[in-house]
Amino acid sequence: MYSKKVAYFSMGSGIYNDLRTYGGGLEILAGDMEKEVMDSKGKYPITFFHILWKKGYTFQRVNEHGEVIDEEPTDNHWEKYLEDTGKKVSVKIFGVDVTVKIWKLKNGPIYYLDTDLEENKGFCNITYHLYGGAWDTPEKERIAQEIVLGVGGIRALQTLELKIDNYHYNDGHPAFAGIELISQRMKYYKKHEENMTEDECFVRAWKHVKARTAFTTHTNVPAGNESHIIDVLMEVGANVDLTYEQMEKIGGNPFNMTVASLRLSSMANGVSRIQVISAKDMWVWVKEAPNIIAITNGVHKGTWQNERVKRAYERSDVEGIYVAHEKCKAELLETITNYTGVHFKQDKILIAFARRATEYKRWTLIFRERAKFEELVQTYGVQLVFAGKAHRHDTAGKQFISEVYYLSKKYPHNIVFLEGYDIALAQQLVAGADIWLNNPRVPLEACGTSGMKAAMNGTLNLSTLDGWWREAAMDGINGWNIGTETIPSMRQDELDAKDLMRTLKYRVLPTYVMKEKWMQMMYASITTANQYTTTRMLEEYYVNLYNYLKG
């Protein structure tokens, strides 16, 4: 049991399927951590703070014209999981006092912040939609949400009288927690040390907060590291009591949330070894930034490993794993039929591609070599199932979904797109697919935890050497590598697409009909995945991250 008490801040949490406070991997990671903390029965004294998204993340459907339509999910049953703490705090947004209600998960140390209150009038919708959608000024809506999370989260833990030693920010969204802590510390110094100048007070408060804070950086894609003009931050109220100049020293101008989080922390980690290399290159210019260490993400086995597969693996029953997988595949095929009306075949290889729709993940890479793709369909009966969402305002990401939708109409017996990607559907996909395809443009993937979940079920990864797979891959033993090892160039997509087709035709498909070989690869895949759990990840957080924080 560890002694340091940590407050972990994340915009959302994917802990239960119908507690719709999650969108993608960032929130699912937090949810997996939470389940591991609850399983540990006190070994990891971490308390979590999120926003209670009353209207959840977007549900996306594709209409008959191929357009991606955003709708509110209809099954956000937060009431059955949360209890009222009876506590509220207040934050200022546009100079107005906004009340924030504090909810708690009934069975764990997890708190949710909620502005959907009658007294908030025009501000009740701040906590409606994860990543926005209620305001006609998306940037200011995002800032207001992050004020609720960061500033409101700090005030909430203090109102709840929780004894906290350290703070941990999941990505840059909670950075305003550090601003609030600095502001509070400055008030303390001004009250108790009258001879201290304003600048001395600020620097000392900053150092105090920094020494007690850790930060996890995720994306190395510039668009994923949000920034705001300081004037806008001050208009909305994110600076709390800090001046323009003090905010600029922390986050620059524009104020970058990742830069601020780095400067507010004395320890930082990336989520895979290759991602850390890229992150260090990306942020090498940031003064006062800590060294970024590698703590590769993990996933919660109890959530993501199918129970039948687990039991067979524990018996070292290689054939039993295969039998369990075939049952999972049959269930997935039934789900595909229920969703789409399409009847895929049990004896034909099933490839899954499920993740956020964005440019660098290259949703349509497998179709680039169209003649070769058609050969795989006609000769081998290759079947593809796609699932995923784009961010609400990402029109380019939605276009990738539309392209897949149109292709599913052209190849109706071989390609399907499943709407409503969520935890329950992901559980079926990672356990029921034969191949988990992941082809991000190297080195832009952060970690790719979905591949860990697939591997944990004996579903074999077919992936570029990015994220976690670069560490775990044993080509031809626990999965297959695709892509070039050349310096990225204008031809990278072309070269990677050609290699993907070659690998599928000459390596993956011939192995699929070699049952003994395939079963051995499934066993090796699960063995590899055992190293990528939240148990290992939390141990590394405490030993390699929190252990070096003051508090």
Can you give the pLDDT of all 551 residues of the chain as single tens digits? 999 999 999 999 999 999 999 999 999 999 999 999 999 999 999 999 999 999 999 999 999 999 999 999 999 999 999 999 999 999 999 999 999 999 999 999 999 999 999 999 999 999 999 999 999 999 999 999 999 999 999 999 999 999 999 999 999 999 999 999 999 999 999 999 878 999 999 999 999 999 999 999 998 887 778 999 999 999 999 999 999 999 999 999 999 999 999 999 999 999 999 999 999 999 999 999 999 999 999 999 999 999 999 999 999 999 999 999 999 999 999 999 999 999 999 999 999 999 999 999 999 999 999 999 999 999 999 999 999 999 988 999 999 999 999 999 999 999 999 999 999 999 999 999 999 999 999 999 999 999 999 999 999 999 999 999 999 999 999 999 999 766 667 789 999 999 999 999 999 999 999 999 999 999 999 999 999 999 999 999 999 999 999 98
Per-residue pLDDT tens digits for 495-521? 999 999 999 999 999 999 999 999 999
Q: What is the reported pLDDT for 486?
A: 63
Strands 213-216 and 479-482: what pairing? Answer: unpaired
User: Does 125 reside within a domain?
Assistant: no
Best CA proximity match to 292, nearest among 265, 274, 270: 270
User: Per the domain annotation, does 76 fall within a domain?
Assistant: no
The reply to whether 272 and 224 lie within a common domain is: yes
Please report whether residue 120 resides in a domain.
no
Amino acid in position 174: P
Contact 149, 171 (CB under 8 A): no
Dihedral, CA of residue 535, residue 293, residue 178 and residue 298, to nearest 10: -20
Please tell me the predicted confidence (pLDDT) of residue 220.
86
401 lies in a domain?
A: yes
CA 465 to chain centre: 19
Neighbours of 114 (CB within 10 A): 24
Q: Are residues 446 and 517 in the same domain?
A: yes
Answer whether 0.75 is exceeded by the pTM: yes
Between CA 143 and CA 132 the distance in angstroms is: 10
Same domain, 315 and 293: no
* Distance of alpha carbon 470 from alpha carbon 444, whole angstroms: 12
Q: Are residues 320 and 252 in the same domain?
A: no
CB-CB neighbours of 12 under 10 Å: 28
Please enumerate in sequence order all residues whose Cβ is within 8 A of that of 32, keeping only pairs 6 or more positions apart, or say none. 14, 298, 299, 300, 303, 449, 534
**73 occurs within a structural domain:** no
Whether residues 516 and 437 fall in one domain: yes
Q: Please check whether residues 333 and 247 belong to one and the same domain.
A: no
> Is the domain of 279 the same as that of 398?
no
**Residue 302 half-sphere exposure, CB side, CA atoms within 13 Å?**
14
Whether the CB-CB separation of 235 and 144 falls below 8 Å is answered with no
Count of domains forming the chain: 2
Is 342 exposed, middle or buried, given 0-12, 13-18 or 19+ CB atoms closer than 10 A? Answer: middle
Answer yes or no: is 129 within a domain. Answer: no
Query: Which of 301, 440, 297, 420 lies closest to 359 in space, CA to CA?
Result: 440
Does residue 18 belong to any structural domain of this protein?
Answer: yes
Q: What is the pLDDT of residue 222?
A: 78
Contact criterion met (CB below 8 Å) for 468 and 492: no
Residue 487: the pLDDT is 64
Residues 290 and 346 in one domain: no
pLDDT value, residue 42: 95
Q: What residues pair up with 84 in beta bridges, in sequence order?
A: 103
Residues 267, 310 within the same domain: no
What are residue 108's phi and psi, to 5 degrees?
-165, 165
Q: Are 214 and 207 in contact (CB under 8 A)?
A: no
Shared domain check, 330 and 446: yes
Q: Which CATH number do you get for residue 451?
A: 3.40.50.2000
Question: Do both 263 and 318 map to the same domain?
Answer: no
Cα 231 to chain centroid, rounded: 30
Residue 314 sits in the same domain as residue 268? no
**Residue 250 structure tokens:** 């922390």
Amino acid, res. 126: I
Nearest to 88 by CA among 121, 116, 122: 116
Q: Under a CB-based contact definition with an 8 Å cutoff, are residues 449 and 297 in contact?
A: yes
Domain range for 174 is: 6-52+105-110+142-299+536-548
Nearest to 462 by CA among 436, 489, 499, 442: 436
